[in-house]
Structure 1
Amino acid sequence: MGLATIINMFCLVCVPAWGEKAAYFIWAIWIFDAIVSVVVAIGIPFILTTRRNGFDLSSMTAAWLLPIVSCVVAAASGAIVADILPKPELALGTILASYILWGIGIPLALMVICIYLQRLMFFKLPPKAMLVSVFLPLGPLGQGGYGIQRLGKSAQRIFPQTDTLSSSAGEVFNAVGLLLGLLLWAFGLVWLTFAVLTLLKSRKFPFNMGWWALTFPLGVFTTCTCTIGQELPSRFFSVLGTIFSVIVVIFWVLVTYHTGRGIVKGDIFVAPCLKDLGRPQTPPGTSA
């Protein structure tokens, strides 16, 4: 996912300055990123399902979404890469591959979110050290909503140039992308409300590196909100996107400050989600 961020900035900043060769270079980097994202998104869940020692549902966290969201991030980056490719045929292939990546990531993420909701209902909230992980479902929902909208805009431009499907296919893909983006945004709003209420209920919880889980989900949800505001004649989404953007910046500053202070004090390098990594797991249905 970090590589996708570099790819996006390279497309927006370096390609306009350096030209066609830079576009082909970053396209090759995106292909590598897409392949790795598929391997991670499918491979890690498969490893989890084939482990000899099973997992207890009560130990599940929203961090299970992180390998899966890599495909969703790569799909959104694919739309940006397609827009800078000089040949429409290559752009078309990139768009179609991005739709496949989106189709891999979003349904799988929705299934994991359902399991995570079941875990919360049966075993209540996670420990205070991991409370901010309840924001993680916003990641695939926000990035998925943004990505499908960007893919729709790219399809609207590329499909007529390559005679793909019909003359109006690009318009249809764009409209469907906006609809799906709006639906994912609405689902993300549910999780945002739930996460905020969770933090308000818990009041005080210690700072740890898990607080960085606030930045990516809120950031991509904000991006999705702003994109909807650009597409729809509604000031509501534009104003809300601006408010979310300010909140994200504040969170970045806050988390960076506490991280820097923790580095100086030497007590920041603690990962709550890994504290049970070395302990043997009790298979389901057996007593400890």
Structure 2
Amino acid sequence: MKMNLKPLQNKGLSEVIRDFTPNWFTLNMGTGIAFLTLHNINTNIFYGQTQIGIGFWIVDILFFLLFSFLMIARIILYPEAIALMLKHPVQSMFLGAIPMALVPILEGFAIFGPPIMGDKALDIALYLWWIDVILAVGVGWLVPYLMFTVQKEHKLENMTAVWLLPIVASEVTASAGGMLAPYFPNSMGETMLILSYILWTFSVPLAFSILVILFLRLATHKLPDKAMAVTSWLTLGPLGTGALGLLLLGNSAKSALAGTGLEGISSFLYDFGLIMGLLIWGYALWWFFMAWFITLKFFKEGLPFNMGWWGFTFPVGVFTASTFQLWKETGINAFEYFGMLLSVQLMVFWLIIFVKTIKGMWSGYLFHAPCLSPETGLPKEEEECKKFEQNKKKYT
């Protein structure tokens, strides 16, 4: 069977739609956390830093609109492919990337929007946040339910950190709620804060349970296949966001709860957020170095590029954000210095992966990858996969 590797401009739109999978939204996650990190640095380390952040934000919006169109079109035109995707033990997990991809965009409206479009930007951010709540909660229930019922290939030896993706979405939305709540005082701010704490608990305790199981799986069945090596970085997602969420929620409690019946506990929420955020950040630090150890081992063996490489970005980005937030709250310079190092790592990773992704999009192989997206129903024979691996080297 002949491989259909051809440049994107020679592929029909129907082919691109058929082969589209939700893991493309990880590009939005990585690009979004990149411009948020530029903002969080709070230091003009180079000329035009703010303008570059706005540029990243606009590019992220355009990609999100494109991917949303492709995803909706695939649901309408290829419902049988969607059914296969929902039953797939890996690709279904990336549904969690959709609400997480939207969070940096809506935060961008609050950060960059007001000088451009006035108070309407905050209204847009609020509407998008409520949409994100629905998406995150829906995915957080749907995917685990599918795991418990129709997905039959889950075994401990096959488990990776991708199990975290649908779970983490709710706490990412919660951290966005902590960031936005001070913009909407009184009843709306109070509602957002309370709901964000619920979303945090909807996600973090379950994510901790998955991390315990993942540790057992790594100890008993050793490292996963090198194609899934990047998933070792996903462990930073729930921990970095978990710490960041509590820090942001505690920091915004005084302004968001001012004049409400819960105003009296705002000081406690701040103190609770600081100490718990610090403890979870320390837990994340352990996984950060372990992810580096695992990645360096796989790099020696050759690490094949796929869309999973975007896992190098968002988890590191939220860990970076929690590090900077701890610096702001404690004034300890060690957090600032470490945050700068993490920022450099994030930007280098983002640049490498973005370039490889654009090349993969242009060549067409990322939209026609039977070995990377077997749920599409495309040929998966061993000989076909070997040809694919050989041919894609010409484009990466």
* Superposition TM-score, scaled by structure 2 size: 0.65
CA distance in 2, matches of 1:272, 1:153: 45
Measure how far apart 1:31 and its partner are: 1.3
Measure how far apart 1:29 and its partner are: 2.2
CA distance in 1, matches of 2:174, 2:150: 29
Unaligned runs of 5+ in 2: 1-99, 381-396
Q: What is the SS of the residue equivalent to 1:161?
A: coil
Q: Is the 8 A contact 1:145 1:224 kept in 2?
A: yes
Q: Is the 8 A contact 1:64 1:112 kept in 2?
A: yes
Q: 2:137 is matched with which residue? A: 38
Q: 1:155 is matched with which residue? A: 253
Taking only aligned residues, the RMSD between alpha carbons, in angstroms, comes to: 2.2
CA distance in 2, matches of 1:233, 1:81: 23
* Alpha-carbon displacement from aligned partner over 1:224-244 (angstroms, at most 9, x marks no partner): 111101111211001000111
Q: 1:223 is matched with which residue? A: 321
Q: Is the 8 A contact 1:225 1:238 kept in 2?
A: yes
Measure how far apart 1:277 and its partner are: 8.7
Q: 1:27 is matched with which residue? A: 126
Match of 1:12 among 111, 114, 119: 111
Measure how far apart 1:129 and its partner are: 1.1
Measure how far apart 1:19 and its partner are: 4.3
Q: Is the 8 A contact 1:10 1:26 kept in 2?
A: yes
The amino acid of 1:177's aligned partner reads G
Q: 1:178 is matched with which residue? A: 274
Unaligned runs of 5+ in 1: 280-288
Correspondences of 1:121-136 after superposition (within 5 Å): 121-136=219-234
* Alpha-carbon displacement from aligned partner over 1:208-236 (angstroms, at most 9, x marks no partner): 22111111111111111111011112110
Q: 1:284 is matched with which residue? A: none
Measure how far apart 1:263 and its partner are: 3.5
Q: What is the SS of the residue equivalent to 2:257?
A: helix
CA distance in 2, matches of 1:135, 1:260: 22
For residues 274 and 156 of structure 1, do their structure 2 counterparts lie closer, same or farther at Cα, with a shift above 3 Å needed? same
Identity %: 36
Correspondences of 1:1-288 after superposition (within 5 Å): 1-15=100-114, 17-51=116-150, 53=152, 55-85=154-184, 87-164=185-262, 166=264, 169-202=265-298, 203=300, 204-269=302-367, 270=369, 274-275=373-374
Measure how far apart 1:266 and its partner are: 4.1
Measure how far apart 1:17 and its partner are: 4.9
Q: Is the 8 A contact 2:240 2:319 kept in 1?
A: yes
* Superposition TM-score, scaled by structure 1 size: 0.88
Q: Is the 8 A contact 1:208 1:271 kept in 2?
A: no
* Alpha-carbon displacement from aligned partner over 1:167-208 (angstroms, at most 9, x marks no partner): xx2121111101111111111111111111112222232222
The amino acid of 1:174's aligned partner reads Y
For residues 272 and 119 of structure 1, do their structure 2 counterparts lie closer, same or farther at Cα, with a shift above 3 Å needed? farther
Q: Is the 8 A contact 2:186 2:258 kept in 1?
A: no
Number of aligned residues: 276
Q: Is the 8 A contact 1:215 1:252 kept in 2?
A: yes
